Amino acid sequence: MQKKLVSAIYLKNGKAVTSLTEDEPYEGGDAVALSSHYSNLGADGLLIFDRSDTDEEHDESLTLEREIIRKVDIPVWGFGNIKRVEDVKKILYTGAAKAILNFSKASNMKMLEEVSKRFGKEKIGVCIDTRKDEVLDDETKTRIETYASGIVILTDVFVYRKDRLEFANLSGLPETMVVVGSDGLSEDEKLGILSQDCVEGLCEDILRDPKTDIMKLKAELKAKGADLNLFESAVSWEELKMDENGLVPCVVQDYKNEEVLMVAYMNKESFEQTVRTGVMTYWSRSRQSLWVKGETSGHYQYVREMRLDCDSDTLLAKVLQIGAACHTGNRSCFYRTILKKDYQDRNPLTVFEQVLDVIRDRKEHPKEGSYTNYLFDKGIDKILKKCGEEAAEIIIAAKNPNREEVRYEMADFLYHMMVLMVERGLSWEDIAEELANRE
pLDDT digits (tens, 9 = 90+) for 294-342: 999 999 999 999 999 999 999 999 999 999 999 999 999 999 999 988 8
* Residue 353: predicted pLDDT: 92
Q: In the predicted model, what is the mean pLDDT of the chain?
A: 91
CA angle 434, 280, 319 (to 5 degrees): 20
The mean per-residue pLDDT over the stretch 73-86 comes to 93
* Residue 341: predicted pLDDT: 87
AA identity, residue 85: V
Q: What is the pLDDT of residues 164-222, one digit of tens each?
A: 545 555 556 777 878 776 567 889 888 988 888 888 899 999 999 999 999 999 999 99
Q: How confident is the model at residue 430 (pLDDT cuts 50, 70, 90)?
A: confident
Q: Is the pLDDT higher at 237 or at 183?
A: 237
* Residue 157: predicted pLDDT: 75
Q: What is the pLDDT of residues 52-68, one digit of tens each?
A: 988 899 999 999 999 99
Q: What percent of the chain is predicted at pLDDT more than 70?
A: 95
Lowest mean pLDDT among 5-19, 233-247, 425-439: 425-439
With CA atoms as reference, report the closest residue to 77 among 29, 134, 35, 41.
35
* CA dist., res. 389 & res. 377, Å (int): 19
* Residue 183: predicted pLDDT: 66
> Residue 49: is its pLDDT beyond 90?
yes
Q: What is the pLDDT of residues 238-285, one digit of tens each?
A: 999 999 999 999 999 999 989 999 999 999 999 999 999 999 999 999
- Mapped onto helix, strand or coil, the DSSP state of residue 101 is strand
- Mapped onto helix, strand or coil, the DSSP state of residue 431 is helix
> Residue 139: is its pLDDT beyond 80?
yes
With CA atoms as reference, report the closest residue to 245 among 296, 297, 283, 204.
283
* Residue 78: predicted pLDDT: 96
The dihedrals phi and psi of 152, each to the nearest 5 degrees, come to -105, 120
- N-term to C-term CA, the chain: 21
The mean per-residue pLDDT over the stretch 16-24 comes to 92
Cβ proximity of 25 and 16 under 8 Å: yes
Q: What percent of the chain is predicted at pLDDT more than 90?
A: 75
> Residue 358: is its pLDDT beyond 90?
yes
Q: How far is CA 407 from the centre of its chain?
A: 34
How many residues can be counted in the chain? 439
User: What is the number of other CB atoms lying within 10 angstroms of the CB of residue 319?
Assistant: 24
Q: Is the pLDDT higher at 131 or at 313?
A: 313
* Residue 160: predicted pLDDT: 66
> Residue 158: is its pLDDT beyond 90?
no
Q: Is the pLDDT higher at 71 or at 162?
A: 71
